[in-house]
Amino acid sequence: MNQRLAQLSLVVKDYDEAIAFYTQKLGFELVEDTIMSPTKRWVIVKPVGEGSCQLLLAKAANEEQESRIGNQTGGRVFLFLHSDDFDRDYQGLIKSEVKIVREASIEEYGKVAVFADLYGNLWDLVEKNA
């Protein structure tokens, strides 16, 4: 058996501002941006690197979905971005003025920092020990 998690859906307020944040501030690749209807697009971004899980940027379509923007996990860290060079990527977040929620620290498993995306979803930036 061979399975892997391929995509996660992330509810966003606006397609273009979300694309700009993920591609310009985090350095993700825009994989696809296909118009499905006048109000819906199929937008996929992913971190640079082989085998990366992709994010489907899904624009909120109603009030209930809008209420989840930025807090899809009740305030817990939602996504984990693994890095092969923590210091490079952490400095990139700072340079791009991404909000750092918890400064870099060294834990038993490696280096970690918590940052927020443009809507407030929390992410861990992690470089695991070799």
The span from the CA of 28 to the CA of 47, in Å, is 4
CA angle 84, 86, 88 (to 5 degrees): 100
Count of domains observed in the chain: 2
**Domain boundary pick from 69, 97, 112:** 69
- What pLDDT sits at residue 94? 98
- What pLDDT sits at residue 4? 86
Residues 116 and 59 grouped into a single domain: no
Residues 52 and 87 grouped into a single domain: no
Residue 107: domain span: 70-130
Residues 58 and 78 grouped into a single domain: no
- State yes or no: pLDDT of 130 exceeds 90: no
CATH code of the domain containing 47: 3.10.180.10
pLDDT digits (tens, 9 = 90+) for 86-99: 999 999 999 999 99
pLDDT digits (tens, 9 = 90+) for 33-68: 999 999 999 999 999 988 789 999 999 999 999 999
**Domain boundary pick from 39, 69, 99:** 69
Residues 48 and 81 grouped into a single domain: no
pLDDT digits (tens, 9 = 90+) for 101-119: 999 999 999 999 999 999 9
Residues 78 and 51 grouped into a single domain: no
pTM of the model: 0.93
Structure tokens at 114: 């918590």
